[in-house]
Amino acid sequence: MQIIRQKGSIIHIDFKGSQKNITKVYVKNEFDSIKYENKDGDFHFEIDLKTVASRFNKYETKKIYIVVEEEGPILTTQKNLKIDNNTKVYSLSKVTNENMRIHPYITKNGYLHLSMNEY
């Protein structure tokens, strides 16, 4: 089961009990990425949205993807973070940092993305 929870500007992603071996989470667009590694084997990742906003603010594209890296016995794959029936999501909300805004959202296809567009 995946648990995704936002507390303040931090998104906590927890893969405990998941059958998948998630080793890294990337926050990326077409030009840049931030890598978060699985420390201590706890399958818990923390993404600071203020850090993400300041890093990606310089790019014209405002859509940001959350990508998980899964290690298998033969192959390592990267996929967008999918929200499915085994996922619990809590308290996603917009974060403002100085003159930048970023907000997490779930696409109609069930992927968790970030946007810096103003709505």
Taking a C-beta distance cutoff of 8 angstroms, is the pair 57, 68 a contact?
no
pTM (two decimals): 0.88
Would the pLDDT of 118 be above 80? no
What topology is assigned to 2-115 in CATH?
Immunoglobulin-like (2.60.40)
Ordered by start, the domain boundaries in the chain are 2-115
Q: Which of 56, 60, 39 is nearest to 48 (CA)?
A: 56
Q: Cβ contacts of residue 115 below 8 Å, gap of 6+?
A: 62, 63, 64, 102, 103, 105
Chain segment 84-116, per-residue pLDDT in tens: 888 899 999 999 877 889 999 999 999 999 999
Report which of residues 103 and 16 the model is more confident about.
103
Give pLDDT, residue 18.
66
64 token code pair:
């940001």
| Cα 64 from Cα 29, distance rounded (Å) | 5
